[in-house]
Structure 1
Amino acid sequence: MTGPVMNARAALAAFGLAAGALPASPAQAEKLLLALSSQQVTIASNYAGGELTLFGAARGEPRRSGGRWEAVVRARGPGRTLQVRRKERVGPFWINGPARSFERAPDFLAVLSSKPLASVAAPEDIASEQLSLAAAADGAPAGGTRRLDAAEDAAFVTALVRRQTQRGHWREDGRGVAFLDRDVFRATIHLPPDVAFGAYEVEARLYDQGRLAALETITFRVVKAGFEQRVARFADRERLLYGFGMALLAIAFGWTASAAFRRD
């Protein structure tokens, strides 16, 4: 047995002993075991992005695919309202046009699979379970009062996926899950430098020729550390005093700049 497989099995065994039974239905708990390289990501002033490794172990034999599993791993961050606004040209000017709000959309989303997603799960499952980036965007409730037709709404969905992908907050990789041997797999979750604080959920799905055979979830948290954590705690406990202090600091900076560039 190779070194990476032994390390993965050791991590899964240690996690199983430490955590006991994972929250899942009895049938599924016997199918899939998960472990993360870390269950807390600490953000300090020098944080420039990071990564977590998910290890998974499938139990039992595939019944339909001749001894081969396929896996899909989806990592989701805190939900928030994301807005996409279209610019329109009026003569020589560009003005704000129609907008589409995506409520409770994940600020961070990574969809990793052992093969391209369309080769692993059925299209209706991808849409209903919001496994792809487009399905996740399309499934986010629309905000605002203006109703969009189907073509216009699809254009906003495409724009949101493009923007979030360019920011490094959304990612889809059809080769992002690697099987180390027949039943042990690994996936690396890349976190951007401006990752949001809060709780994250990692969901792993095991497929047997397009049929969902097991589903399991595990969580991790992104938290502040050092000076940033102390400032955040103070701001939360003493909101009025914190706001007053920030106002005084802004005035002091303004006065200093004015004095430095004052002309005699």
Structure 2
Amino acid sequence: MGRLLTLAVFLTALALPAAAQEEIVADLSQRQVPITADFDGSELILYGAVKRETPISITEPLSVIITVAGPSKPVTVRRKEKVAGIWINTDAVEIDSAPSFYAIATSRPLNQILSDTEDLRYKISIPRAIRSVGAPQTVMDSHAFTDALMRIKAANGSYQARPSTVAFFDQTLFKTAVTLPANLTEGTYKVTLYLTRDRQVVTSYTTNLAVQKVGLERFLYRLAHDRPLVYGLLSIFIAIAAGWGASAIFRYFKG
């Protein structure tokens, strides 16, 4: 009976996955980004270390990839063409899910530290983070709409590709900074850190960053979404009061 029990324990141990040789220990410079009326952007610092149970491999060095993804939502991209001298919307493609903000920082160029298969599996690069299943049959070049979305988002700072910006010291300590633009969308942002070796993901670590309006901005935002009728009536009242006040001041100085 004892030998059978020992054999069962041994077979069970073989069936269990091996413990990770490296793990990520990381943190953020801030866990919450408050959006106020004068918010003009912020800088998020990410830092951490590699916790390992084996000596550092010299022949197969590690690399670090860090992504910051904002809330995802469907996006409709339209194409304008000049018809009879007038610019009008001709074709439109609805992208199923696209992050409102996405930044990717790496310790080395991405194509050197991540294979296409792993990118497809983990959806790390900007094109993979965007999910577009299908497009109308009348649109033959649907990929051009995704490219246009990435180009527009990159121009306003919402999509950032930052290769070789993660400082990785002695294959143990790492640090980078991500610029958060002023046009952030409120919600929970997902921060993911990956360790790669030989272009394969070894392990990953995920944490959250809260981005939310505070003060009067938050009150008005919640009022507009939770009680739109009250918000509309309040807006009309403020507009009438402002117009009457301006008229009264004008009559006072005129008279």
TM-score (norm: length of structure 1)? 0.77
Residues 66 and 29 from structure 1, CA distance in 2 versus in 1: closer, same or farther, beyond 3 angstroms?
closer
Q: 1:181 aligns with which of 170, 191, 195?
A: 170
- Residue 147, structure 1, aligned to residue 140, structure 2: no
Instruction: Quote the offset at 1:230 in angstroms.
Output: 3.3
Instruction: Determine the C-alpha separation between the residues in 1 that align with 2:249 and 2:142.
Output: 52
Instruction: Determine the C-alpha separation between the residues in 2 that align with 1:70 and 1:90.
Output: 51
> Which one is further off, 106-115 or 75-84?
75-84
Instruction: Determine the C-alpha separation between the residues in 2 that align with 1:236 and 1:175.
Output: 41
Letter in 1 for 2:167: A
TM-score (norm: length of structure 2)? 0.80
Residue by residue over 1:131-162, the C-alpha shift from the partner in whole angstroms, topping out at 9 and shown as x without a partner, is 2112223x24457xx2355x511111111110
Counterpart for residue 39 of structure 1: 31
Gaps of 5+ in 2: 1-16, 251-255
- Residue 122, structure 1, aligned to residue 115, structure 2: yes
Contact 1:64/1:209 (CA < 8 Å) preserved in 2? no
- Residue 205, structure 1, aligned to residue 197, structure 2: no
Counterpart for residue 10 of structure 2: none
Counterpart for residue 45 of structure 2: 53
Contact 2:49/2:174 (CA < 8 Å) preserved in 1? yes
- Percent identity, aligned pairs only, is 30
Counterpart for residue 98 of structure 1: 91
Aligned-CA RMSD value: 2.9
Contact 1:75/1:111 (CA < 8 Å) preserved in 2? yes
Contact 2:95/2:132 (CA < 8 Å) preserved in 1? yes
Contact 1:86/1:99 (CA < 8 Å) preserved in 2? yes
- Residue 108, structure 1, aligned to residue 98, structure 2: no
Contact 2:118/2:200 (CA < 8 Å) preserved in 1? no
Letter in 1 for 2:238: L
Q: 1:158 aligns with which of 147, 159, 174?
A: 147
Instruction: Determine the C-alpha separation between the residues in 1 that align with 2:77 and 2:226.
Output: 34
- Residue 230, structure 1, aligned to residue 219, structure 2: yes
Counterpart for residue 169 of structure 1: 158
Residues 81 and 208 from structure 1, CA distance in 2 versus in 1: closer, same or farther, beyond 3 angstroms?
same
Gaps of 5+ in 1: 1-24
SS across alignment from 2:117: helix
Q: Which has the larger radius of gyration?
A: 2
Instruction: Determine the C-alpha separation between the residues in 1 that align with 2:21 and 2:225.
Output: 39
